[in-house]
Amino acid sequence: MASATEGDVGIAAEPVTVLQSVFEELSLNKLATSLGASEQALRLIISIFLGYPLALFYRHYLFYKDSYLIHLFHTITGLSIAYFNFGTQLYHSLLCVVLQFLILRLMGRTITAVLTTFCFQMIYLLAGYYYTATGNYDIKWTMPHCVLTLKLIGLAVDYFDGGRDLNSLSSEQQKYAIRGVPSLLEVAGFSYFYGAFLVGPQFSMNHYMKLVQGQLSDIPGKIPNSTMPALKRLSLGLIYLVGYTLLSPHIPEDYLLTEDYENRPFWFRCMYMLIWGKFVLYKYVTCWLVTEGVCILTGLGFDGFDENRKPKWDACANMKVWLFETTPRFTGTINSFNINTNAWVSRYVFKRLKFLGSKELSQGLSLLFLALWHGLHSGYLICFQMEFLIVIVERQAASLIRESPALTNLASTTVLQPFFYLVQQTIHWLFMGYSMTAFCLFTWEKWLKVYKSIYFLGHVFFLSLLVILPYIHKAMVPRKEKLKKME
């Protein structure tokens, strides 16, 4: 009897064993390995694409339902995505959301609430960076938390503005100022909205509340006609995803640290950095285009109508793809890349530093904030220091060309324009790659090794121009008195 029972158990257990082995074969870890990616990266991609079925469910079943149901849906789905990616570490975001709600309620519309929010949220984020930091880029709870940090700081500032006299606010501040008192469920829904929780984009509480209230539609009273615009951004994101997946094994950033790279000719090292610098940004472009499609599908991407009464769906756009691919200028890339985060920094940091009386100082402090927001590695500081330097030099060069008659005539020569464009693009992407080297390699011993191998070309080039251009400007730009005589 015992043997028969054991046999029955064995037979019954056999399908379980088979199923177990099947599930092991289908595990995310093995799938990720077969794709040449990490499990965390695969979870991130799945979560981003999961926004589309969630958006479809929202459109068809919740779009004009009670607000509390929508907030609840956004909160539950966002928390589920957080758990899928980071397990019990989702408590970090939950704690910060609840404490932020308490700060707003207990401190009210005061500057104390704003300063407390800024200090608490930034210190919590930086502490997270400190305790989880490694020498490599890891996808962990701090990744969505940096997005959340900006959201909650912006929420506190907008809530503070909502209590100020309307005449003391700029038109932009009036647009974002929160007049009502957000509930905990509203703050949670705003924070955990599935289309932006992991990688952005940034949007205001007022814009989110318009979504919940059914106001973000090109057809009043009906579900937005946004399927095709969403699919266009999704398709574009898929193109970048495929391109990045196919090319990443052939242009790895680790190659920059190898002896083979160091022993290559100088021109090869520069060209590799140029190509890698352009290509490495594609992983960010992919994520932002896909999440933008989710936001458009829900209606959050609706931004009113243009002069021809055509609906605009760029409220959550983080990329201007055509500008990104064609601009020969550094400022063009800045204006086309991570748009909503740059707009957030401009709105809540740069413009709020107006009292300093120096545009350059405000810009420098804004970039310092961005560097710290990204992480504690020295590479971030070097990257944004280079951005600051490059933008100043580019402005000087543009001013020189614009104000010098000889250079203006030369630049407007039609035959030479393709050549000038090629030279500009080469300089542009070579030094974008130079800046991104520090950004992606993080630690000083890594980026310093690469910079040494190309003789600190970026720093030498732009610091030299910073010193030389004012003298060239003085020599080539006629004084006003001379200009009047020439006229």
Whether 374 is catalytic is yes
In the block, which residue shows the tokens 């070097």?
382
Q: Which of 206, 335, 374, 473 is catalytic?
A: 374
CB atoms within 10 A of CB 109: 17
* 127 and 145 Cβ atoms separated by less than 8 Å: no
Q: Measured at the alpha carbon of residue 41, what is the angle toward residues 35 and 43, in degrees to the nearest 5?
A: 100
Residue type, 366: S
Catalytic residue among 85, 92, 207, 338: 338
342 among known catalytic residues: no
CA–CA gap between residue 407 and residue 4 (Å, rounded)? 96
* Dihedrals phi, psi of 69, to nearest 5 degrees: -65, -40
Per-residue H/E/C for 264-320: CCHHHHHHHHHHHHHHCCHHHHHHHHHHHHHHHHHCCCCCCECCCCCECCCCCCCEC
Q: How far, in Å, CA of 301 to CA of 315, rounded?
A: 5
| Residues 245/34, Cβ–Cβ less than 8 Å | no
- Whole-angstrom Cα Rg for the chain: 26
Return the number of other C-beta atoms located less than 10 Å from residue 180's C-beta: 11
Give the residue numbers annotated as catalytic, written as ranges: 338, 374
